[in-house]
Structure 1
């Protein structure tokens, strides 16, 4: 009788550009920073760019755009390093993460901490280009960055903490451009958190069997077979918060059209979710790069 093989869910792809083009010593650090898997970078960048566009009422200042883009890259990479340090004893037992550098022994803990210190130092250097108020807001994200990797041990809502940290740049953008954070900007940030709870729950269903076996917690485990409904509700909350936030920020009619397109896209994602097929859920998680593009695009046309 023919049996179906289990799909390869590992997030490390052997023979990719890291293996082909980088020196051997650089490869584990590149993977530790997730530079070989840039989806998280894009999911951090697009909401941040949307906030910069809205706060600037159009084209952001080039210097601000560069600083915030580099900051998103560095802090996402630093967050990935913190996460892998905290999860090193779990990752080796999870199909998706078992080949990560710390879990597989390619990097030891002292070297990982040195690498983290370099990442944080580079990120901190960018604060020199920002206002004192924005620096103060930026410091506020650090507890979230360091607490998130531990959340899965004591709460089913690590995705909410990750969403708050991932999208912190949206608040910083308003602080830097206009010197304060209006209610509409807070709603945009809240919508991004709801969106991230949705798409990161889709991602968590890839690991749900391994996480349950290891005694870890996630929204996927909490929602169980109600996952599609719960994810759809969080996507709806995201669109609602973005719509109201955009209205409070004075976005024009084309922004509303952009919200409608996002709503249709997220509804399609929710319809396609299959809780029993991790490979489908992973592809739907990746599809949220397009959601980020649409959000930034809606902000641009709405600001003009």
Structure 2
């Protein structure tokens, strides 16, 4: 079941033995960097777990149902945006062209839906399974509500996916079995990108460097790169040449990119500027930019201050 997952032998062994020995934990915490296979591992684990209750000839149908999200014993939760009274995932928001002003979060209403889901006995599976992607985005009220569920999960297993144990409440961590995931070496990243039909990413070394051993992050970065006007990208990867140029760049970034794209651009610029100039002060300035955007400061003003600071730094060379 774990064939699609590359380079995570420890995680595969722990999860495989849990099913084999019938010692599946009520809760797991999959920790590691984005894009190293945590969600894929969760899907493979669920396929293995649910396959114990079906005939061999039914396994492919089972896999298809899990991948399509229509298995009655599986509830998959993603962070959402609130838009016109609706909750939208990142993919749904992008499809609708919603301008995202803040990162998505897992909301209290979603935790309540989990509780309702787990109140029913498992259908067509040995137990119900709930997956929470980006569990670190839970608001405190949502995390506290989830804690009550973890205390009495019933015949169920919850899988929380987060970058590190420190990113979620300690009380949640204490109730989960931790499964670590690691960044991949260059050969493994290349293998993943090739097998998944994303070999074009390999043509962009700056994206691979930005991903730092995470194939999923490399793919996401490449996809984000394609959405940004190439002329704008060329302009912002060079330090401003004048005060007027700095203000013009700030105006373009604010006008053309939503907040999430701006946050991604900060990572890209840090990588790009470091390769060009090797100045810590530029990296620190861009970190201030990130902090201000996350604090909901007016984006155009934030970028004006950023590019004016970069102009001053460049003039000191």
TM bucket normalised to smaller: under 0.3
After TM superposition, the score normalised by the length of structure 1 is: 0.25
In our comparison, the structure showing a higher alpha carbon Rg is: 2
**Higher helix share goes to which structure?**
1
The structure with the greater share of residues assigned to strand is: 2
